[in-house]
Amino acid sequence: PFNCTLILLIAMADSTFLTLCENQHYDQKSLAKFQTAIAIAKEHLQQKKRLAGDTFFDHNLRVGTILAENKAMPEVVLAGLLHGLAGEGQMELIQKEFGSEVRMLIRGADDIKQLKLRNKAMEPEGLRKVIFTTLRDIRVIILALANKLDNLRSLEVLPTAEQKRIA
């Protein structure tokens, strides 16, 4: 069963994001790509829930909003809207629709996440790998920081052990 209120809120969030992007003076080509990215992210992430209870789509839209509020380049905003799709096997779709630059940004942010998962204690070698990965393109760090900021904003709804792990 569809929740009409939820659908309306989601549509309003999409609209609010696009209005913000217009106000930040992104060009029409970028705005059209943002709309396409939102549709793709919604299709693949709307039904998947995060520990905080919201959907991965909601999270990606907030990450995109953080990036747009800070006037990030359109490719970085697109990567923010789509970053959750790396684990969904959608990298070819991203390459086709948005190009190799957006794919590279998403892959770089995903590489950082994977390095952190493999190196919980973040040993010097793991830290070196993270720094090397991100030095190729500073925009990867900007994407990762926007993602982390949104995760930190929703900490209060998580169990204490999860809060400590994420923080």
Look at 125 and 9; give whichever has higher pLDDT: 125
- For residues 107 and 29, give the distance between their C-alpha atoms in angstroms, rounded to a whole number: 23
CB 37 within 8 A of CB 81: yes
- Ranking 24-28, 63-67, 128-132, 137-141 by mean pLDDT, the lowest is 128-132
Residue in the structure block whose two tokens are 């209120």: 5
Tens of pLDDT, residue by residue over 57-66, are 999 999 999 9
Model confidence at 7: pLDDT above 50:
no
Residue in the structure block whose two tokens are 């925009």: 139
CB atoms within 10 A of CB 119: 15
| pLDDT for position 134 | 65
Model confidence at 17: pLDDT above 60:
yes
Distance, CA of 38 to chain centre: 11
**Highest mean pLDDT of the ranges 20-34, 83-97, 113-127:** 20-34
- Residue 1: pLDDT band by 50, 70, 90 thresholds? very low
Residue 55: helix, strand or coil by DSSP? Answer: strand
